[in-house]
Structure 1
């Protein structure tokens, strides 16, 4: 702090110029009588502000030429009076060495007839002329700021301290005396420290890393920015002069929200009791706690999560998604609070939306829904109407809100592709500040599975077989694909792209049949992960019908891995003659042949006879 605004701990004034030694007290007697003036002048220069750079004002009786950064203050009243050492002592002035201590100075005890007053002009000056230089006296004058325009600065400055001036003063080179003296009374700042404490709104734990700006309402300007709470949650601003101020929170600590009430935390720097103590008084009006230090609470930044009830589904099967978000404690102060979900183009919104708080479904009047149409699109659940939170939702602070809804995969979705679905929580509790957005981690996914098969002949070439027909079985039920209109898809081939929705029926006749193509291939797609069986219901012409089912498992990547290497199903040829089969047939044939031979031998012997 420079010499124009440094507050002295107590009101202490140092005598200007040199105090005459005993040889100087005779004043004019040292010089030729005809050379010593009988009167002199004292010009008071009233300036305020901060000198530029390291420039200072030196009260050596001369005119200070370099006053850059200082401005004249008009309309300030000063009063001057000649005094003696005895009068100063009577008025409570003490002297220590060459310094006068005016801490207890009472100007009223100086006789009124000795006083002369004046007011500073537009140059901030008063010239007191015709001041007597008294022989044999102390040659002391006291100058006191007694009223006027100091309040034009909004109370930023206290009155300047009294000055004691000798008339004449010794010149700066020590070779003579100056009878026209210039003085620059210091307009001391009335200063105070102010502190701010940042805490967690729920636990009251100190928070580091919050930043604030400080503004002077008195001067209508920003005092400083970048004030940041330390590890104890504190900001300390020193040496603020009298006036009106406010803090404004710029950024909250990591993981926390900016406090809306902290956009303007008003306080005043005022004189305390008896004008001897300077205090910083916070104005209660922000619902904050004040005890000399303002406690500014912050709520944690809300978290948002998204889950789904199953990671794999069949064609046409709903997936239930749940978005869970924290409701801020001060939700009623928020101007934006909504959840949005930009659905993947491979998902179709199927509604079933519900909103719960603390496990209880809340009225639909507490929110509005913007639903997407068709595949993709954006779902928005908004808890703000206009710019204010809905009435009931304002009571849900510090709880969790859960939004549930369903989707299904688009028709023809390629198995093993993974749909990652994320949601955004959009909010702001400070008007004029851009929205903040929190996006859920990409952990909620959904997909569907499938499997490839190839039908071949049981021969050395393994030729592919066309026109074999199969059905898919699971837990005694049979797979059937249906269109959106509910019509069953009778047959499927490997070239079919639109499978429809999956259903499970009770009989083979109701099931969809998979027919092998000329390359012997069929594929089953759109199934949730699990264990299934493939049952042949019609063999290719000339081949045996399989009596056993083919077990297979649909899982992660099963569609992809079997596409290049399908599961092979072998069929045997039908024999040319009917087979009654078994060892009994062989024995019967051998017995028959034996009888024929016996008959032949008997017949041959009969002819010889």
Structure 2
């Protein structure tokens, strides 16, 4: 064995090794001169001029110190020579808690190294080749051994223990330490492969390193999430519109118990908002109420309804996570739909709002079915589509004032869906079935009914769900009863109750829409008086006992109220063709001359006297009058009769008044005459 040649070789290795490591930027390229003779690495000696011998280690512990630099910042420049270093510039220790899981695997590629590779340029070329294809390159595929993958811990390091260094087969083992796991999205540039020939010397070349260090670096970034807010079309045609100004708060943690991060962000004119600075964690968005979107825990009016999927409770579906493996940034977006709140209108089917007692008033309640009645589609977050919660409450209560009566047998109740969207109830509509599509229950006080549409295991029926976006039309009649207050509004009220969040989550608040429609019944009051002194109207007196009949615009005569053959027990107005046939409908003036009729529909009527008071002539001229608002309350029609041509020999009021007036007139004339006489006498 040539001892001098062996010593020169090792001295060269120490020198080049130190220089190459000092020049490395991001990778450790360690140069080792080729060995031209067989030497046992554990028994290396210096040349003849050296004062002591050195023992090369057979294994080395190699610690990877992981650094990170935020995208756009300046990376550190570290002298990677196996010695302990400190980060500089904008590079800091890698934080796996924020930026995810990074793992390294060490490959012993000594068997793939040619003698000509053991130069600075040669080992750098090997590193570049590996970087192009970390798993499919020649060196990694043909490595003689590899370690188990090790991950960067919270201290930003991992140590490969007992890596082969010097042995009988080779003075130096060349290792490729490769970043084999890194999080998507969070890491934008992986570290360069570390190519190192072990063992290394210290910087001075006076000792072997048994503990060596490497400092690979990543470029990392914080992520952004974009949310776009849409509003549905109430018609159910599938069209949507962007909703600007909708506020959202981002939370970290589990829905219902998370912590708000950042400030409230509102959607822009295109319905979009962006939150940034995102690292590892579990997130969810909470939608705040606004002027356009009503909080489901209040009764405020708004076009859209805040869904259960966007509340701060366990039903929230606006969740996404950035895990230890990172995330594809292209998935960090959401399209969230707001659905129109239900709507309801209450109208009279009749072309008038006044009725005669005992007749039926026809009502219609139109309930708009929201598009998400059984859960709405059209929303997705982080690439996952979902269906919103179905409505847990969708019901109505119809109540009537005391002057109205709900009678199921007479109401002719129908529930249909207007599939033609013409707002009318016609033959083209779908008829809903009681017991299948709804249940109907009479109220205990007989003043209305309750209708329930949640009939199918907590949901509306398949038929109602099929026609979401359409209108349910409820048509029915109620009777104007004999307790109706004249000239006062008699209200029929419909209360639609609804709730679009799960029954087992959070506060249970049912929102309400209430609309009412008034109906009226009217009347007229009269007073019967004499026509006064010689028909002048002077000294009118009330007349008792005058009798009248009332004729309507159809020429029929009122014949009182009587319960007919219908199902209710309410008396209805009776009408006959001739005045002579009136028996129960005769109106008679009382001692004060007053009489009245009430419970009539508004319109034009005729008052006809059929019997004059004693001592008065029958008025052969019919008197027209109008029945309408306040004609009973504020108006008194005056009906007059003339006295008979001969003075009555009875003590009528008019006769007494006539005598009194005559006495006054005669006395006045006599007084004037006396004055004239006296005047002449004086003269």
TM-score (norm 1): 0.62
Distance in 2 separating the partners of 1:102 and 1:75: 16
- Residues 29-73 of structure 1: per-residue CA shift (max 9 Å, x gap): xxxx99xxx99987556799x9xxxxx999893599999996999
Aligned to 2:381: none
TM-score (norm 2): 0.56
Aligned to 1:461: 539
Distance in 2 separating the partners of 1:16 and 1:279: 26
Aligned to 2:370: 328
- Residues 161-211 of structure 1: per-residue CA shift (max 9 Å, x gap): 3587999999xxxxxxxx997969669469575655636362534321466
| Residues 229 and 157 of structure 1: CA distance in aligned 2, closer, same or farther (over 3 Å) | same
Alignment: residue pair count: 502
Q: 2:412 aligns with which of 352, 356, 361?
A: 352
Matched, 1:572 2:652: no
| Contact 1:79–1:146 (CA under 8 A) maintained in structure 2 | no
Distance in 2 separating the partners of 1:205 and 1:58: 53
User: Within 5 A, what are the aligned runs for 1:195-594?
Assistant: 196=228, 198=230, 200=232, 202-209=237-244, 229-236=267-274, 255-256=303-304, 264=317, 278=328, 280=330, 299-308=339-348, 309=350, 310-333=352-375, 334-335=390-391, 336-350=393-407, 351-358=411-418, 359-360=426-427, 362-365=431-434, 366-372=437-443, 374=445, 376-380=447-451, 382=453, 384-432=455-503, 437=511, 439=513, 444-457=517-530, 458-459=532-533, 460-475=538-553, 476-484=555-563, 501-508=572-579, 509-562=582-635, 566-576=636-646
User: Within 5 A, what are the aligned runs for 1:17-166?
Assistant: 44=64, 61-62=85-86, 79=106, 85-93=120-128, 109=139, 124=155, 125-126=157-158, 144-146=178-180, 161-162=191-192
Question: What RMSD, in angstroms, separates the aligned Cα atoms of the two structures?
Answer: 6.0
Distance in 2 separating the partners of 1:73 and 1:196: 27
| Residues 230 and 324 of structure 1: CA distance in aligned 2, closer, same or farther (over 3 Å) | same
| Residues 534 and 385 of structure 1: CA distance in aligned 2, closer, same or farther (over 3 Å) | farther
SS in 2 for 1:328: coil
**Larger displacement relative to structure 2 (372-381 or 412-421):** 372-381
| Contact 1:532–1:552 (CA under 8 A) maintained in structure 2 | yes
| Residues 317 and 363 of structure 1: CA distance in aligned 2, closer, same or farther (over 3 Å) | same
Shift of 1:317: 1.6
Shift of 1:535: 2.0
Shift of 1:297: 5.3
Distance in 2 separating the partners of 1:258 and 1:311: 37
Distance in 1 separating the partners of 2:274 and 2:584: 79
- Residues 485-510 of structure 1: per-residue CA shift (max 9 Å, x gap): 789xxxxxxxxxxx954222234433
| Contact 2:67–2:92 (CA under 8 A) maintained in structure 1 | no
Distance in 1 separating the partners of 2:502 and 2:256: 21
Aligned to 2:296: none
| Residues 182 and 561 of structure 1: CA distance in aligned 2, closer, same or farther (over 3 Å) | farther
SS in 1 for 2:574: strand
| Residues 168 and 315 of structure 1: CA distance in aligned 2, closer, same or farther (over 3 Å) | farther
SS in 2 for 1:91: helix
SS in 2 for 1:560: coil
Shift of 1:363: 4.4
Distance in 1 separating the partners of 2:584 and 2:163: 123
| Contact 1:474–1:533 (CA under 8 A) maintained in structure 2 | yes
Distance in 1 separating the partners of 2:120 and 2:356: 107
Shift of 1:531: 0.7
Distance in 2 separating the partners of 1:223 and 1:58: 38
| Contact 2:96–2:102 (CA under 8 A) maintained in structure 1 | no
- Residues 307-336 of structure 1: per-residue CA shift (max 9 Å, x gap): 111211111121100112223345444433
Distance in 1 separating the partners of 2:606 and 2:242: 61
| Contact 2:265–2:273 (CA under 8 A) maintained in structure 1 | yes
Distance in 1 separating the partners of 2:489 and 2:512: 23
Distance in 2 separating the partners of 1:357 and 1:449: 35
| Residues 87 and 212 of structure 1: CA distance in aligned 2, closer, same or farther (over 3 Å) | farther
More strand per residue: 1 or 2?
A: 1
SS in 2 for 1:364: coil
| Residues 425 and 227 of structure 1: CA distance in aligned 2, closer, same or farther (over 3 Å) | farther
Shift of 1:305: 1.6
SS in 1 for 2:465: helix
SS in 1 for 2:632: helix
| Contact 1:412–1:500 (CA under 8 A) maintained in structure 2 | no
Distance in 2 separating the partners of 1:422 and 1:477: 34
| Contact 2:66–2:93 (CA under 8 A) maintained in structure 1 | no
Distance in 2 separating the partners of 1:385 and 1:392: 11
SS in 2 for 1:408: strand
What are structure 1's unaligned runs of at least 5 residues? 1-13, 20-32, 51-55, 95-100, 133-139, 171-178, 282-291, 488-498, 580-609
Distance in 1 separating the partners of 2:618 and 2:96: 106
| Contact 1:80–1:117 (CA under 8 A) maintained in structure 2 | no
Shift of 1:109: 4.3
| Residues 217 and 184 of structure 1: CA distance in aligned 2, closer, same or farther (over 3 Å) | farther
| Residues 302 and 369 of structure 1: CA distance in aligned 2, closer, same or farther (over 3 Å) | same
